[in-house]
Amino acid sequence: MSQTKHVSSASEFNALLGSSRVVVTDFYADWCGPCKQIAPIYEQLSAQLSRPSKVTFAKVNVDQQTEIAQTYGITAMPTFMIFKNKQIVDTIRGADPRKLSEAVKKLAAEADSDGSAASGGFGESSGARWLGAGLPKGYSDVTDQVDVRGLDLLNADTGFGTSRTLFEGEKPSSLEAGKGKTKSEDKESGKDWVETDTDEQLMLYIPFQSTLKVHTLHITSLPPKGDEEAPMRPKTIQVYSNRAHVLGFEEAEDLPATQAITLQPQDWDEKTGTAKIELRFVKFQNVSSLVVFVVDGEGSGEKVRVDRLRIIGESGEKRELGKLTKVGDEPGE
């Protein structure tokens, strides 16, 4: 009996991606000759390698499920996409049995192992990570590559969340309960966000487990509405790449940022409280760490609030943690 799931809706496909560590997907069409030729091999791989909650094989008819096909930019059939923890990790275009078999067997073996939960990243739990904005075509959420053991956060109020809170996979509690909660309601919640302490500035150091190509940052801020004392959303943000450690506030002001961003009110999604910060991609290749400096907030308040942060791009080779070289620390400099 076939183990392959035939997807009948976008919602079913999203649920499938969240229910299995690895999902192998065949995007096909009934009229496609090569699709028919490779179909028996795909079914054989499905029968051999399917594992409940670990490895799932799916088929998506692109003519019937146009929304899914458009979401993933399918332009040729067959196209095979392999997802791991809801992220695209491999794409194979065309009927290439050898390439498909090698890729699927490699990911299936990884899925059977314990994964990277002990490595300092987020491990398997990242499969259900909430996103407050859509992904740019060709890129994925690589937040699971954050080395949470090395995070550093300056000027955060200890009465709220920590640096790890920003990378939690769950939807912010303010969205679960509805935006615009009162202060008393906030105090009763888990306070799963970060607020600044003495002023509006915040400094966050983010090391990665592998070198990344960083395309976009998603920053979510959900201050309650109608409260004059509520914290502000970030406005001016400076991003520094490949620093060896967190920057001091005075040090950051004296250093040229890799990129500086000024967010406008229209940049924030009113439903999710998320702004997409598109980086100059050429400047964020082979990134082993980021420093995100919130310089000021949107308004005249004294504090800034950040609920979630997501890193969007491409992951590369694993690096040996603890051996990050600061830019400029070359011999003779």
Distances (CA, A) of 199 to 195, 204, 234, 264: 10, 15, 12, 21
Nearest alpha-carbon partner for 296 in 246, 247, 253, 235: 235
Q: Which residues are catalytic?
A: 32, 35
Cα torsion angle, 86, 92, 93, 96, sign = negative
CA distance 255 to 240: 9
Phi, psi of 246, rounded to the nearest 5 degrees = -65, 150
pLDDT, one tens digit for every residue, the chain (333 residues): 568 999 999 999 999 998 998 999 999 999 999 999 999 999 989 888 888 888 999 999 999 999 999 999 998 999 999 998 888 888 999 999 988 988 888 887 777 653 443 344 443 333 457 899 998 888 899 998 999 888 999 999 989 999 999 999 889 999 876 544 433 343 344 689 999 999 999 999 999 998 999 999 999 999 998 777 899 999 999 999 999 999 999 999 899 999 999 999 999 999 999 999 999 999 999 999 999 999 999 988 999 999 999 999 998 765 554 444 433 334 443
First to last CA, the chain: 66
